[in-house]
Structure 1
């Protein structure tokens, strides 16, 4: 992802895909609480086949990251502002 950030900032790449792990963790936490309390899990919006059965799933939408919303990675706490600034200047890209 860091290389994509640097490339997008430099105009070498148009976009990348981001799934916010914080939103994913929140969704998992909510599901665990509902299961622990014996409630029906809410928000099921799809299925995932595990090669055995179709498992009811809570699917989260990925975010398309472009130059216009590149800073969303900082807002999501995926990157610190300091790291973001270095990457967008082409510094310390790994």
Structure 2
């Protein structure tokens, strides 16, 4: 009887626990914090097509272009400090 319970507990702990652990701690956290940037001119009109570059510790990590609404969205981890550079191409 003890062997049956031991095998059953081993199955539960190595099967289900592993899945729960991976679901909670194995998730990619880089998409946790969205940052929406809106580019507008002095008349509050959206500026499409601007290149916005994201830097982390002076290292370029991503670049995107503003859409027709003048918006671009980045996802990043909250623990780091980021800077942005906007350029016209």
Larger radius of gyration: 2
TM-score class normalised by the smaller sequence? under 0.3
Higher relative contact order (CA 8 A, sep 6+): 1
The TM-score with structure 1 as length reference comes to: 0.25
